[in-house]
A and B are shown apart, each in its own frame.
Chain A
C-alpha cells in the first residue's frame, strides 16, 4: 500500500508550513520523493530496520530530554512539533529499502527478542501512511484555528484514500461518501470542541471553589477566602533569612480599598516592570540598603500568578517570568514562566511602598454606616489617639468575638457584616478584616483591606515554611503616623482552629514535596545543567547515533539492474495475459499474489456472468501458459498468437461495464 506520488512530500511541506519549519520540511520532502526517482536501493534486513527504529527512539528520547530541560513549559507540544523529523529515519529507511515494507516487530523491543522464538509470523507493514498521519498530527501543533487546517487535512485524506478506493464502487458514490465523511468530521470536531469547552468550564467552576479562578481579578467577595480554607494543599514554600521560629508572617497578595455590597474592589491600573538579566531580575521599588531576603516557591495557575510577598518589596531576583506588573497598592503579578517559579525577594520588612491615603480609603458605604457609628460610639473611639484606637479595636475583637468557619444565617440584619458585628460575633478573617477596616475608617483613620497568606507552619521535612491553601488570610492595612502598616485583628486561635478543621495528611505532604523537588530539579538544576553542560549531555546520544549509523552503513546497496526482476520484465511492457489482468483489476477484481490466473478466474467468473467471455478467457490463458511455461520453442510465434487473442479479448472486456 504505497502512498500516491508526491503525497508524503506534500504532507511534509504542509507540516513545515504550519509549524514554520518550511526549509527542513522541504529537505525531508525532497529526500522522500527522490526515492521514487533514484533507483538505488538498500538491502535492509529486519535487524537493520531495528537500527533505524533505534535511531528514532534515541532522537525521541533526546527531544524529550531537551524539551523537558530547556523549554520547561509545553514540553509535550515541542515534542509534537518535531515528530516528523524524529520518525524520519524510519520512513526514509523504508522508502530506500528493497522490500519497501517494515517488519512490525521492529517497533517493539519485546517482540524483537521473539524473532528467535517460533510461531511468530513476520507481519510487514508499510509505514508511510502512518508517517503521514504523524505529520498531520504534528501540524496541529501550529493551532492556526482557521479552516485551513481542517480542509487541508480533508484534502490529504481524500488524496491518500483515492488510490486504494474500491474500483467497484462508482466514482459518484465514492465522492459522496467522502463528502459525507468530511462533513461529519467537521461537525464532529466542532461538537467535540464544544463538549470539551463545556467540560472544561464545569471543571473550572468546580476547581474554582478551591482555587482563585482568575488571579488577576480586581475584586474579592466576602466569603471567598472562607472557601479556600477547606483545602490543605501546599501552595507556597517560603524561607526567610531572618526567620524567627513561631512567628507568623503575613504574605500579601492584593489590597483593596473600595467596599460595596459585600465586595472589595481595587481600581488601580498596573504598570509594567522591565525585567533585567534575561528576565530574571525585577526592580519593583527604588533600591535601598539593609534589606532582608526571603525565598519563595510557587506554581503558576493558567500561566499567571499574583505574588504573595512580605511588605516593602524592593526587588525580586532569580524569577523567570515573561512579564511582571505592579500597581500602586503593591500588588505584583506575573505572566508566563516555568510551572514552578522561584523568587528571591529583598524587602524592607516593615516600611510600605503603598500609595498614600486617598478619600477612597476613609469611605464607608451608606448601608453599613448606622451600625458602625453605633459600635464606634460604644467603644468611644472619637476622643482617642490613633494608637489607642488600634489598641481598643484589637481588644474589642479579641475579647468579644470568636473565630469560626461556620457562617450562620443572616438573621434580621441587613448586611452580612452587620450580622457579624452585631449578632453572631463569630466569623472568619474576612469579616474581622472588613469590620476592622470600616471601624478604623469610622474613626477617621485611612485603612485598606489586604488579602494573602499567613505563613506559620514550619515543615521539618522540607526545612522551610509551607503555606497551604487554608492559610489564606485577610487583614487590614492601616495608615498611622504617616505610614502604612499591617494590622491583624483576627484572633490567633484561628491558626489552630484551621488546622483542626482540616487535618493535614502526611502522605500528601510527602507527595507534594516530592513533586516540588522534581519540579525544582527540572526548572532549576536541570536548566542550569543544560545551560552549562547542555551540549555535553547530547554527546552520548550523538555517539550512540553515530555508532548505529556506522553499523547501518554496512548495508548492501543494490542498483536498479541488480534487483531481481519480477516475471519477464512485466513492468516494462505488459504483454499477454498481464494486459487482461490489468483491465480486470481496473474493473475491481484484484488478484492475490499467490493466486494463479486459473484459480483467480475461477474465483471471479461468477461476477463476470458471461459464459462465452469466461471460455475465451480460459482459452487465452492456455495460450499464455504455453508461452510462459511451455518449452522455449517457437516463442515468437506463440507470443504473436497470444497477443492476437489478447487484443480481441481486450476489446470485448473494455466494452464490458
Chain B
C-alpha cells in the first residue's frame, strides 16, 4: 500500500465525515465508527430512542455517496417478498416476471428494523452475509457495494420484535447515538428553523471510490500479536460466566476489519491497539446473549465487554 493510497483513503473518509456532519451535529465519534464500519465492509445497526437522529444520520450517509439508495420502513405486516422481490404473472407474455425488491441497491436503509416480525427480518440474513438472495429458487447476486444501515428502537419499546441472534451477528457494529449536549441541540434547532439540512446534502463520493476505500481498508497491516489480542477479547466472551451465547468468529473478523478501517482515519498504514480498544464494545456487545439473572443484577453486554477489555493485558 502506497502512501498516496493512505492519503486518498484518509482524505475520502474526512470528506465523508465532514459532509455528514453538516447534517448531524455533535456525533463526530459515532460518524467515525460508522464510516469505519462501512469501509470495513460491514453493516451498521443504530439503536436508540426515537428522535435521536438515527434515520437522518443514515440518510445523510446514503446521500453522501453517489450510489443507489433504497429505504424500507419496517412494519409489523411487512413480508419477506416486500424486501427481496416477487415474481408476478404477466398475462400478456404468459410468464412470470421477477419484480426485484428494494434489496437490490447499493445502500439500504432498514428503518426501524425491529418493527417487522422475525420472519421478515430474516429475509435479510442471506443478503447481508453473502451479498446474494434466493428468489423462487434462483440465486441472484446483489451489487458489489452492498451496505445495510438499519435503525431500531431499544427492544424494550412497545411494538418491537427483538432481532434473532443470527441477524444481530450479521451487523458489524451496533451504535447508540445518545443525546447530544444542550448547546448542540440548540444549534440544531436554529439550523432546522427554515429547512432540514438533509435536503442540501450533496454526494461527495463515487461508487468507485467507495469500492476502492473498502479494498484499501483490507490492505491495512495488522500484526500477529494484535490478531491474537482480538481473538483473546472475542473468545473471552465465550468463557465469561453468565454469558449464554458468546461472540462468534465473525465478530473477530468484523473487529479486525473495522480496526483496519479505523487506522485509515488516523492516516496509519497499520492497526494499533487503540483502534481495537475503541471499537471493541461496539463490535462485540450486541452479539452477546446474557443470562437473565445477570441482566437483573445490572450487568449489560456493554459493561461486560468493557470488563473483558480491562481484564486482558493489551500488547504495547
Tell me the bound Cα distance from A118 to B295 in angstroms: 12
What are the residues of chain B within 8 A of A119 when measuring CB–CB?
241-242, 291, 293-294, 297
Count, chain B residues at interface, CB 8 A: 27
Separation of A597 and B277 alpha carbons in the complex (Å): 12
What residues of A have a CB within 8 angstroms of the CB of B272 in the complex?
596, 598, 625, 629
What are the interface flags for B146-173 relative to A under an 8 Å C-beta threshold, 1 for contact and 0 otherwise? Answer: 0000000000000000000000000000
Query: How many A-B residue contacts, CB cutoff 8 Å?
Result: 64
Q: Which one of A9-17, A363-371, A587-595 is at the interface?
A: A587-595
**Which residues from B are CB-within-8-Å of A598?**
272, 274
Interface size of A by CB at 8 A reads 22
Residues of chain B within 8 A of A147, CB atoms compared: none
Nearest chain A CB to B293's CB is how many angstroms away? 7
B interface footprint on A558-597 (CB within 8 Å = 1, 0 otherwise): 0000000001000000000100010000000000111111
A629-B223, A629-B226 known; A118-B269 Cβ under 8 A:
no
Q: Compute how far the CA of A595 lies from the CA of B273 in the bound complex, rounded to whole angstroms.
A: 9
Task: Identify which of B222, B241, B270 contacts A121 (C-beta below 8 A).
Answer: B241
Q: Are A120 and B241 in contact (CB under 8 A)?
A: yes
A333 to chain B, nearest CB (A): 65
Let me know if B311 and A594 touch, CB within 8 A: yes
A464 at the binding interface (Cβ < 8 Å): no
Q: Cα distance A248–B272 when bound, in Å?
A: 97
Tell me whether A520 is interfacial, beta carbon within 8 Å: no
CB-CB < 8 A to B186: which residues of A?
none
Q: In the complex, which residues of chain A have a beta carbon less than 8 angstroms from the beta carbon of B225?
A: 628-629
Contacts A119-B294, A629-B272 given: A593-B314 contact, CB under 8 Å?
yes
Question: Are B316 and A628 neighbours in the complex by a CB distance under 8 Å?
Answer: yes
Residues of B within 8 A of A581 (CB): 316
Q: Is the CB of A118 within 8 A of B316?
A: no
Q: Which chain B residues lie closer than 8 Å to A611 at the CB level?
A: none
Check if B277 sits within 8 Å of A628, measured CB to CB.
Answer: no
Q: Does A630 contact B (CB under 8 A)?
A: yes
Select the residue from B226, B243, B293, B314 with max chain A CB neighbours within 10 A: B314
Query: Is B98 at the interface (CB under 8 A from chain A)?
Result: no
C-alpha spacing A594/B306, complex, angstroms? 11
Q: Mark B215-258, 1 if CB is under 8 A from A, else 0.
A: 00000011101100000000000000111000000000000000
Question: Which of B274, B294, B297, B312 is the one whose CB lies under 8 Å from A594?
Answer: B312
Least CB distance from B306 to A in Å reads 10
Given A119-B242, A577-B316, A630-B223: 6 more A-B contacts, CB < 8 Å:
A119-B291, A581-B316, A596-B316, A599-B274, A599-B277, A631-B221
Give residues in A with beta carbon < 8 Å to B.
Answer: 117-121, 567, 577, 581, 592-599, 625-626, 628-631
* 27 sampled A-B residue pairs with Cβ under 8 A: A117-B241, A118-B241, A118-B242, A118-B293, A119-B291, A119-B293, A119-B297, A120-B241, A567-B316, A577-B316, A581-B316, A593-B313, A594-B309, A594-B312, A594-B313, A594-B314, A596-B274, A596-B277, A626-B270, A628-B223, A628-B225, A628-B316, A629-B226, A629-B315, A630-B221, A630-B269, A630-B270
